[in-house]
């Protein structure tokens, strides 16, 4: 039916990870790099974030989201990357060939290597099983940003933000701009998790933020209203007491889930913690020639983290194109609660010669904790932490990697005691 179009590297997703990787590959001499994206414009999620705070780490200056996205798109074009927007991957024809649909027709693209960088989304209300009616006025940060900045549609008058982490602040700024009063932030944890950007944002938006309570140790237990949201019922976790906050808008923020549709269609092995594809230190998935990078790996990090990761992945893709063998065997790395995930979540024998960066997240605040890494009965590492913060990526020393037995049992990360 369709002819297969050949390319050296096929990248799915034109966000910070995909674009930075494409740029790096072109600059390192790869002849033909194609990036497809299902959105009408390339650039990824930053296109939707009309507030500042982008670019410090990767461009060493401050941009707002759309300007940051434009800069990546321009760099990609300048570097000779083939960008194809409004092109949706609909399946895998074979290990390295993806089929797509687009206004210009259907087709298939084959890369000598494939990099998946399809990003994340927030879990919507239904996936969080919040009961009640299904009135209008329920958003995620992503849909809210599209309403306000992309389509200039009305939102509401008074909102409750579910979540109190970095992205919740982003939702706050968008609501503030749209003239929507924020009744409260809600979090089931004992403190908010708006770490670094909170202080400067508080300074910038001192009035509005001061008037906005952060309700801790509560969960949203019901949505009220039939046609339009009329309020939310919250339940205090310690007492079980219920309370109603009147509002006509609810924004569910955070609670990330990777956009793993293409990865799962390809039957890549998925990690139960990140819910993204399982990768080793070289961003290799379970399928030879297929790499993954960016927020697809583990929920949302900053755009810069994804972009820098894209560049790292590009080095690995290049090594593969130059003949570096694909590992035949990999060892899973697992976590136990309250650890949420670890990256890399699998280890290839070749990864074990040198220490590498290991990151993880936890689901709750823990003070004076010790993280230990074990392989079977062998203790590979203990590392003390004064504070473990939820919704924040934490770094673990990678020195233990050299002590892993390549054909041994799975590696497990957990808290001591």
Q: How far is the CB of 150 from other proteins (least distance, A)?
A: 6
Find, among 216, 243, 218, 240, the residue nearest to 232 by Cα: 243
Contact predicate 10/110, CB 8 Å: yes
Q: How far is the CB of 377 from other proteins (least distance, A)?
A: 29
What residues make contact with other proteins under the rule CB under 8 A?
Answer: 1-2, 38, 86, 88, 90, 101-106, 121-127, 129, 131-137, 139-140, 142-143, 146-147, 150-151, 153-154, 156, 221-222, 226-228, 248, 257, 261, 264, 272
Contact predicate 332/410, CB 8 Å: yes
Contact predicate 94/265, CB 8 Å: no
- Which C-beta is closer to other proteins: that of 248 or that of 301? 248
Q: How far is the CB of 179 from other proteins (least distance, A)?
A: 13
Cα-trace Rg, the chain: 22
**Alpha carbons 36 and 15: distance in angstroms, whole number:** 10
How many other CB atoms are found less than 10 A from the CB of residue 261? Answer: 12
Q: How far is the CB of 65 from other proteins (least distance, A)?
A: 16
Q: How far is the CB of 105 from other proteins (least distance, A)?
A: 5
- Which C-beta is closer to other proteins: that of 91 or that of 325? 91
- Which C-beta is closer to other proteins: that of 26 or that of 275? 275
- Which C-beta is closer to other proteins: that of 224 or that of 389? 224
**Alpha carbons 172 and 150: distance in angstroms, whole number:** 17
- Which C-beta is closer to other proteins: that of 55 or that of 119? 119
Q: How far is the CB of 242 from other proteins (least distance, A)?
A: 11
- Which C-beta is closer to other proteins: that of 183 or that of 371? 183
**Alpha carbons 342 and 358: distance in angstroms, whole number:** 7
Instruction: Give Cβ neighbours of residue 31 (< 8 Å, ≥ 6 apart).
Output: 8
Q: How far is the CB of 227 from other proteins (least distance, A)?
A: 4
DSSP for 87-154 reads -EEEEEEETTEEEEEETTEEEEEEEEEEEE---EEE--TGGGT--B---B-EEEHHHHHIIIIIS---
- Which C-beta is closer to other proteins: that of 91 or that of 376? 91
């Amino acid at each position: 039916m369709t002819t297969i179009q050949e390319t050296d590297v096929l990248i799915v997703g034109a966000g910070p990870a995909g674009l930075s990787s494409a740029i790096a590959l072109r600059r390192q001499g790869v002849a033909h790099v194609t990036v497809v994206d299902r959105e009408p414009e390339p650039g990824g999620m930053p296109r939707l974030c009309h507030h500042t705070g982008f670019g410090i780490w990767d461009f060493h200056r401050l941009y707002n989201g759309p300007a940051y996205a434009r800069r990546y798109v321009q760099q990609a074009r300048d570097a000779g990357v083939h960008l194809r927007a409004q092109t949706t991957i609909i399946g895998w024809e074979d290990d390295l060939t993806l089929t797509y649909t687009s206004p210009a027709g259907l087709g298939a693209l084959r890369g000598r290597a494939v990099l998946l960088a399809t990003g994340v989304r927030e879990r919507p209300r239904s996936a969080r099983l919040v009961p009640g009616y299904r009135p209008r006025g329920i958003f995620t940060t992503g849909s809210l940003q599209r309403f306000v900045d992309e389509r200039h549609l009305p939102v509401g008058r008074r909102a409750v933000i579910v979540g109190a982490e970095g992205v919740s602040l982003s939702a706050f700024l968008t609501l503030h701009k749209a003239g929507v009063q924020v009744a409260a932030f809600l979090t089931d944890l004992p403190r908010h998790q708006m770490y670094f950007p909170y202080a400067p944002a508080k300074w910038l938006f001192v009035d509005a933020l001061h008037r906005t309570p952060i309700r801790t140790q509560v969960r949203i237990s019901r949505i009220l209203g039939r046609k339009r949201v009329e309020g939310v019922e919250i339940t205090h976790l310690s007492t079980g007491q219920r309370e109603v906050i009147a509002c006509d808008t609810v924004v569910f923020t955070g609670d990330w889930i990777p956009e793993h549709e293409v990865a799962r269609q390809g039957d890549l092995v998925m990690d139960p913690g990140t819910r993204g594809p399982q990768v080793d230190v070289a961003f290799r998935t379970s399928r030879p020639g297929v790499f993954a990078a960016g927020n697809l790996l583990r929920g949302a990090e900053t755009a810069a983290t994804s972009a820098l990761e894209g560049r790292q992945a590009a080095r690995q893709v290049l090594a593969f194109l130059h003949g570096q063998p694909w590992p035949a065997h990999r060892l899973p790395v697992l976590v136990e609660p309250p650890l949420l995930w670890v990256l890399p979540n699998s280890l290839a024998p070749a990864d074990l010669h040198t220490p590498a960066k290991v990151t993880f997240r936890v689901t709750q605040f823990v003070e004076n904790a010790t993280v230990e890494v074990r392989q079977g009965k062998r203790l590979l590492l203990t590392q003390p932490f004064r504070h473990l913060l939820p919704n924040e990526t934490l770094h673990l020393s990678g020195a233990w990697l050299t002590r892993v037995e390549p054909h041994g049992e799975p590696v497990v990360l957990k808290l001591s005691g």
